[in-house]
Structure 1
Amino acid sequence: MAKLAYFRFYGNLNDFLPSLQKEKEVKYSFTGTPAVKDAIEALGIPHPEVDIVLINGQPTQFTNLLQANDSVAVYPTGTNHVNLAAYSRQATLPVWHKFILDVHLGKLAKNLRLLGFDTLYRTDYDNKTIVQLAGAEERIILTRDVGLLKHKTVLWGYWLRSQHPEKQLTEVLAYFKFLPPFQPFTRCLVCNGILAWVPKETVLEQLPPKTKLYFQEFYQCQNCLRVLWKGSHYDRMQVFVQQLRQVD
């Protein structure tokens, strides 16, 4: 016989719900005793975006079993529950904030690398590879695919609401509470490698003729060995970074 439980989702968790269910009590019909995590995801909410869960007013773990007539409150990251800090799932986020992005987020990957964030991205990464790398290297998954975040082994992740790269960057910075100063121009935008200063004479053969003549300061990716210098592209990136630093 089917049983009912009653869910209420708070904050930006409502982004995942149909319009008629947003900011309202949601009835969930079930049989047996499913884990509360399974019920939350069946209602459309990926577990990495959940911070605190209360069942009948009491803090609970994802593995707790759902019972008939349970009242479940589900809170997103950023919830100010001081007395429930010990139950916060977001408190387990790695402090070093390494990312891995899905195939749709190439521009965001470059923007994060521009600011100095360790960001894995390749067009040949499938979902299985992303999940495996995220677990092995303790990386946060950024994606436009809600289903990717529902893989049971995923610990940390975020679903980008915007489809525009610049808005996606500010969205990530706000969600993870990143504040300036960043560490811009320390990573290769192409491969994520670390950039290091190199003497001009060591990279002369890789430089275009006019670059040899007009530029004296050079950096090289320690991974892919690309050589970079502060040309007009650098000035544009400086403006971009400065604009981000001015955002409250």
Structure 2
Amino acid sequence: MDKTAYFHFFGNLNDFLPSSQKAIVVFHSFSGTPAVKDAIEALGVPHPEVDVILVNGKPEDFYYLLQLNDTVSVYPAGLYNVHFAAYSRQATLPVWNKFILDVHLGKLVKSLRLLGFDTLYRTDYDDKTIVQLSVMEERIILTRDVGLLKHKAVLWGYWLRSQHPEKQLAEVLAYFHLLPVIQPFTRCLVCNGTLSLVPKESILEKLLPKTKRYFQEFHQCQSCGRVFWKGSHYERMEAFVEKLKQAN
């Protein structure tokens, strides 16, 4: 016979719910004793975005077995009572600034690298590869595909709400509190290698005439050898980041 439990999702976890279920108690019918993680995902919320779970007012992990008439409160990062901080899943993140992105986020990749964040991306990565690399290299998955975050092996991830690259960047910087740790011009925009400041004389043969004339500071990738300078793209990003800092 089917049983019923009662779920209440808080904050931006409501983004995953149909409009008729947002910010209200959701009735969930089930049989047997499923793990609360399975019930949460059956209702549409991917487990990597869940931070704290309270069942009948007490903290529980994903493996709690759901019982008849349980009341389950599910919180995203930053929206739980301070007394439950010890049960925060987000606090177990190995790092907050090491990412792997799916194929749909190519424009976001360059922005994250420009700001100094270790960002893995290739257009030929399938979901299985992304999940494996995320686990092996302790990387946070950024994606527009909710289904990717529901893979059982995924430990850390975030679903981008916006489809606009600048808004996506603002989301990531805000969600992972990255503004204080930005280090521009330390990552290659193309291969993700590390950049080093190099004398202009050492890379003259790689520069176009106008670049030689108007720029004096250059950085070179230690992996692929590409040369970068602070042109208009960097100036636009610098202005964008400054705007974000003022807004926070």
- Unpaired stretches in structure 1, ≥5 consecutive residues: none
Equivalent residue for 2:227? Answer: 227
Equivalent residue for 1:199? Answer: 199
Equivalent-residue separation in structure 2 for 1:206 and 1:179 (angstroms): 33
User: Is the CA contact 1:49–1:158 (under 8 Å) kept in the aligned structure 2?
Assistant: yes
TM superposition shift of 1:203: 1.9
- The aligned runs of 1:117-136 (5 Å cut-off) are 117-136=117-136
Equivalent residue for 1:108? Answer: 108
Equivalent-residue separation in structure 2 for 1:96 and 1:76 (angstroms): 16
Q: In the TM superposition, what whole-angstrom CA distance separates every residue of 1:100-149 from its partner, at most 9, and x where no partner exists?
A: 11111111111111111111111111111110110011011111000010
Equivalent residue for 1:185? Answer: 185
User: Is the CA contact 2:52–2:88 (under 8 Å) kept in the aligned structure 1?
Assistant: yes
Say which SS state the counterpart of residue 105 (structure 1) adopts.
helix
TM superposition shift of 1:200: 2.7
Alignment-mate amino acid for residue 33 of structure 1: T
The percent of aligned pairs where both chains have the same amino acid is 75
Alignment-mate amino acid for residue 18 of structure 1: P
TM superposition shift of 1:213: 4.3
TM superposition shift of 1:60: 0.7
Equivalent residue for 1:241? Answer: 241
Deviant stretches of 4+, over 6 Å: none
Equivalent residue for 2:72? Answer: 72
User: Is the CA contact 1:52–1:89 (under 8 Å) kept in the aligned structure 2?
Assistant: yes
What TM-score do the two structures reach when normalised by structure 1?
Answer: 0.94
TM superposition shift of 1:96: 4.7
- Unpaired stretches in structure 2, ≥5 consecutive residues: none
Equivalent-residue separation in structure 2 for 1:178 and 1:217 (angstroms): 26
Alignment-mate amino acid for residue 138 of structure 1: E
Q: In the TM superposition, what whole-angstrom CA distance separates every residue of 1:151-190 from its partner, at most 9, and x where no partner exists?
A: 1111111111111110111111111122335211111111
- The aligned runs of 1:1-248 (5 Å cut-off) are 1-180=1-180, 182-248=182-248
The Cα RMSD (Å) is: 1.6
Q: In the TM superposition, what whole-angstrom CA distance separates every residue of 1:197-242 from its partner, at most 9, and x where no partner exists?
A: 1223332322223333444332111111111233444433433333
What TM-score do the two structures reach when normalised by structure 2?
Answer: 0.94
